[in-house]
Amino acid sequence: MKIAIFLVLLLMGFLVTFQAFAQEPIYLPPVKFDHPYHGKLTIIEHDDPYTVCQALGCQIGPLHRGRCTIHVPRRGTVSERLYRAVIEHETGHCNGWPGNHPGVRVR
């Protein structure tokens, strides 16, 4: 019985360690669209972006007159790596990357 408990605790330790080092995949636009937006970029942070976007982030509304608005999770509610990636992804849409994500790069 003690061996079984030890093995369960050991397995739990491995799972916790794995989750700490595992990173969520990052979906980036093709290089053609992966550059700073040349216009006024407005970033709106949300505690729960799913209420606005039905996703972790989104670019809503038409692009016009050199303006683009993106909705992202509030900084600190996700990892810094993911926060920056969502902004990079959504900025790609501001730069003309279609919503069906052709040529997506996974990092």
Q: How far apart are CA 92 and CA 83, in angstroms?
A: 14
Q: How far apart are CA 104 and CA 31, in angstroms?
A: 9
Q: How far apart are CA 14 and CA 70, in angstroms?
A: 38
Q: How far apart are CA 29 and CA 106, in angstroms?
A: 9
pLDDT recorded at residue 2:
56
pLDDT recorded at residue 82:
94
Q: What is the pLDDT along the chain (107 residues), one digit of tens a residue?
A: 555 444 444 444 443 333 444 578 999 999 999 999 999 999 999 999 999 998 999 998 767 788 999 999 999 999 999 999 999 999 999 999 999 999 999 98
pLDDT recorded at residue 59:
92
For residue 87, the SS3 value is helix
Q: How far apart are CA 86 and CA 91, in angstroms?
A: 8
